[in-house]
Amino acid sequence: MIVSALAIFIMAFVGFSRIYTSGHYLTDILSGYALGLAWSAMIYTLLELYFQKRRSLNVKKKIKTLRVKLIVNPVLASPRMPPIS
């Protein structure tokens, strides 16, 4: 949280300093912020899609493994465990 706040502060300060020193126009700075925000949103979306697909594949793999265990060992399929003797 602190790192994010510090990064936002630095980005705003650098943008302000570019305008103050007449290095760039305000529209240059705002378009740079917009481009950075769009890029971040695209990367975030792609990562979410990647991990969502990866999670769904892991769930399917676990279900398949559970089915194999139930077929091999029907005791696991019963709701109660057999008494320990």
Residue 81 has pLDDT above 90, yes or no: no
Average pLDDT estimate for 80-85:
57
In order of 75, 77, 78, 82, the CA distances from 85 in angstroms are 16, 20, 18, 9
**Total-model pTM:** 0.59
Residue 26 pLDDT: 92
Q: Which H or E element spans position 39? A: helix 26-72
Query: What is the rounded distance in angstroms from the CA atom of residue 15 to the CA atom of residue 11?
Result: 6
Query: Where are the chain's structural domains?
Result: 2-75
Tens digit of pLDDT for each residue in 6-51? Answer: 999 999 999 999 999 988 999 999 999 999 999 999 999 999 999 9
